A and B are shown apart, each in its own frame.
Chain A
Amino acid sequence: MNTPAPPTIRTHAIHNREELIQVLGIASELEHNLMCQYLFAAYSLKRYPDEGLTEAQLDQARGWGSLITMVARQEMEHLGLVMNLRSAIGAPPSFNRPNYPQPVTRYGKADIDSVLTRFSTATIARFQKFEQPHPLPPGFCAMTVDEARRHREQARALWQSAPAVPRSPLEPFDFHFDSVQGLYESVRRAFRDLPGLFIGSPEAQIFGGPGSPYAGDMDDLNQYDVDLVHVTDKDSALQAIHIILEQGEGIQAPPDYVEHTHYCSFTRILNEMRDAGFDAARPVVDNPLTTLHMDITTPGEVNLITHPDTLQVAVLFNRCYELMLVLLLYLYGSRGRYPQRSLEFTNAIFFPLMTMFVRPLAETLTQLPAFADRPGNAGPGFELPGEIVVLSDFRYLWNSIDDHFRSLADDFGQLNILRQPHDHPPAIVERLRYTSENMRRLSLDWHSHWTDVGYT
């Protein structure tokens, strides 16, 4: 390379296992954070013919929503990969994440906003910036295969020779990374160079494909496009990081993959939005929350939901979301202790909770009024009351989850919208009714240890 590397092409030194665990904690928080922001925007899109768009516009908006939810799904996969990386080096999993909004300074120099905003050009431009590769050549997303191949080689060389910001042991460990890519390049170097890292229990990970406990059968996550690597050594760790970087920034992506990277997906959406020239989103307010949580430092950016019927739905959304995280945390950290029970947790999380509860409630919230006294729609706040924990005694954990499911089933039945359906749009009532009956059934499924379901 003849030209000096731009200032963002640098890594930060990670000296030992504990620092690496901390950085992976930042990474997991970031993946989780971005995923929620992406989902919020996707779920704010108009979907139905009575929302003021033409049919062609609705289908175009659907295409954007589809692309964003695909990116969000890959962020979930990245989160899973980071969990496996942590687990491989002996650390417990963590789904901790601050509530929205958070100041842009939270992630140091990376300029990452933590806010929930509706689908718009500003929102998508923000997402595009999160996923930007470094370096970013002109016309990155439209490169020919040969151009992409050459760029890939140059970028690889650039990052391999990138300076590491030095730090002496007497200096504080301030991991102020410059970009998501810089964060993972720092992690890559640590896995490459630090000795004796892999002390974690191999069972305490979720992965699919060959070698997984469920390889080839219906519980193999790989068949659901969740391609999680089992991290057991340096090569598998580097493969996991490689996947995260390829899917996101695409700096090392195969030449024919570049158009599918997150950065190029958001670029495509942005270009299409500018050409299309219509507002595709519902009037969802920024950062709609049920309460001001203790970790929020900019309360002026919060919109507290005050409409009583909507507030109930938002509370149930948050409870379903939190329950899903508890179940995931168990699977990522404790599965190896009770392998015969892990399938019950898988049964609850991967198929029902996200698809049949978290998603429909999120979409329903974007159709409901946030306030009793002024316009503006609500949305899913992805609120967490505090640290997500898994009880260490399995009996108490199982009973606790049983209680959660039972109370959710009861509380769905108490929703004002379902008790006074004539005051609300029929489509919303119907959707909540369907969700409510599914929660009732799911609660019974869990309680019976999944013995009363059909053939599996």
Chain B
Amino acid sequence: MLKLLFEGYYQMRMATDPDPPDDPRGLSGYTFALPGEPDLDHKLHFQPDEKGAYQRVYGLPGAPGPLIGVQVTDAMENGAQRPDLKGARVRFVDAEVVERNGVIVRNDLFVIDPLRVRIEQAGTGSPLLERVDYLSGDPDKPNLPIVDATKAQIERRQLQGGFMDGSWKVALATGLPSPDDAALLANRRERQRHLIELRDTIDRQRQPGEYQGLTTRIAQLDILKEWWDLTAPPGAVPLDRRARQLALLADGWNIDINGPVLANALGADEKKLWNLSFWMGGWDGDALCGFIQGELNVPLLAPDA
């Protein structure tokens, strides 16, 4: 068995509720395609070189923030280390997190679709392993659209563990000092401070788009509590999702990848299922990035096979 542990920041540029997921620029949620940025493509981007990914800056050079890139952090073959595979890049090619506001699933219990996992050599990009998962589970129906999937087919691709606010797992993975509200608020205020510093260096007349984009990001980072909730007791106004989701954990994807193998440079057994499991969390609505951590377990052919 080859076990590949991976982690890193992905980017997903998608409009947020109450915008529909296919909205190309965002309007009334808190994620937008800002001036100079391409349309929102609602795909999971695990590498910065993917079409549709757009790495935002977080302030003047050195300002901290998520950098897109998911990599293998540890690899073991039958229990023995495979250091040559550390740093390999991971992609979920063209994948999306699908909900469609209750038409497919509800309550952000996202389905990953399509699913095509690719591990490639760091540096050269040569594919080491690549395999498609059939939503239908049936090679005779390789292109079943998600809108035609059954409950079982959908659930197989959904997170199984649900959500958890204030996750220490997420905080540790993303470098937050803690998952409590104070730490989340401090993180957002620091980001805002860095963006204001950057904006102060921009000539509004000469770079109106950049200036306006930063103004929008700064304004969004003002919204850290649900000021509109007039039913909340004074002093107990809830934290807004823009801050709360920094420590939100979405746990428990566990998928046995079942389709055709497109690349196999590591001696994987193509007749057996490859197990993929991961969690996602730490959503940074300003960066349009979240963190993923998981593992891919790939049965290997016997040495003389």
Contacts and interface: CB of A to CB of B under 8 A. Distances in A.
A248 to B, nearest CB: 11
A442 interface: yes
Contacts of B102: 347-348, 350-352, 356
A113 interface: no
B34 to A, nearest CB: 6
Interface stretch (B145-153, B174-182, B295-303): B145-153
Interface stretch (A11-19, A53-61, A128-136, A150-158): A53-61
Contact of B28 (A70, A239, A437, A456): A70
Contacts of A360: 20, 22
A65 B27 contact: yes
A453 interface: yes
A442 B103 contact: yes
B106 interface: yes
A229 B232 CA distance: 11
Interface in A348-362: 348, 350-352, 354-356, 359-360
A74 B304 CA distance: 68
Most buried by B among A65, A246, A354, A453: A453
B80 interface: no
Interface in A8-63: 42, 47-48, 54-56, 58-60, 62-63
A394 to B, nearest CB: 22
B230 interface: yes
Contacts of B26: 62
A356 B209 contact: no
Given A351-B102, A352-B101, A48 B20 contact: no
Nearest to B25: A47
A225 B228 contact: yes
Interface in B1-48: 17-20, 22, 24-28, 32, 34-36
A62 to B, nearest CB: 6
Contact-residue size bin, chain A (C-beta under 8 Å from the other chain): 35 or more
Q: Is the interface of B mostly helix, strand, loop or mixed?
A: loop
A452 B150 CA distance: 6
Contacts of A48: 24-25
Contacts of A455: 105, 109, 155, 158, 160
Interface stretch (B66-74, B122-130, B191-199, B211-219): B211-219
A283 B17 CA distance: 27
Interface in B165-183: none
Contact of B216 (A54, A59, A242): A59
Contacts of B226: 225
Q: Is the interface of A mostly helix, strand, loop or mixed?
A: helix
Contact of A56 (B18, B35, B109, B150): B35
Nearest to A359: B20
Given A54-B209, A351-B102, A359-B20, A454 B155 contact: yes
Contacts of B147: 437-438, 440-441
Interface in A45-91: 47-48, 54-56, 58-60, 62-63, 65-66, 69-70, 73-74
Contacts of B150: 452
A260 B226 CA distance: 12
A55 B212 contact: yes
Contacts of B228: 70, 74, 225, 227, 247, 260
Interface in B111-160: 111, 145, 147-148, 150-151, 154-155, 158, 160
Contacts of B35: 55-56, 58-59
A229 B231 contact: yes
Nearest to B219: A63
B100 interface: yes
Nearest to B227: A260
B151 A62 contact: no
B64 interface: no
A212 to B, nearest CB: 11
B20 A56 contact: no
A451 interface: yes
A244 B208 CA distance: 38
Interface string A420-456: 0000000100010010011011100100000111111
Nearest to A73: B18
A69 B104 contact: no
Interface in B242-281: none
A356 B101 contact: yes
A218 interface: yes
Contacts of B201: none
Interface in B86-108: 100-107
A257 interface: yes
Contact of A456 (B100, B107, B212, B213): B107
A66 B154 contact: no
A347 B19 CA distance: 17
Given A56-B208, A58-B35, A59-B213, A454 B109 contact: yes
Contact of B230 (A73, A243, A348, A441): A243
A438 B28 contact: no
B229 interface: yes
Given A56-B211, A247-B228, A451-B151, A69 B103 contact: no
Nearest to A246: B230
Most buried by A among B22, B26, B27, B151: B27
B19 A355 contact: yes
Interface string A337-376: 0000000000110111011100110000000000000000
Given A62-B25, A227-B229, A355 B20 contact: yes
A60 B212 CA distance: 7
A421 to B, nearest CB: 17
A246 to B, nearest CB: 6
A173 interface: no
Contacts of B160: 455
A445 to B, nearest CB: 7
B105 A456 contact: yes
Contacts of A63: 216, 219
Given A48-B24, A441-B148, 9 more contacts: A55-B209, A59-B34, A66-B27, A227-B228, A348-B102, A434-B22, A438-B103, A440-B147, A452-B150
26 contacts: A47-B25, A47-B27, A55-B208, A59-B212, A59-B213, A59-B216, A62-B26, A70-B28, A74-B228, A218-B107, A222-B229, A227-B230, A242-B230, A243-B231, A247-B228, A247-B230, A254-B234, A354-B18, A356-B20, A356-B103, A359-B20, A360-B22, A441-B100, A453-B105, A455-B105, A455-B155
Interface of A: 42, 47-48, 54-56, 58-60, 62-63, 65-66, 69-70, 73-74, 209, 218-219, 222, 224-225, 227, 229, 239, 242-243, 246-247, 254, 257, 260, 347-348, 350-352, 354-356, 359-360, 427, 431, 434, 437-438, 440-442, 445, 451-456
8 shortest interchain CB distances as A-B pairs: A351-B102, A55-B35, A454-B154, A56-B208, A218-B107, A56-B212, A454-B105, A69-B28
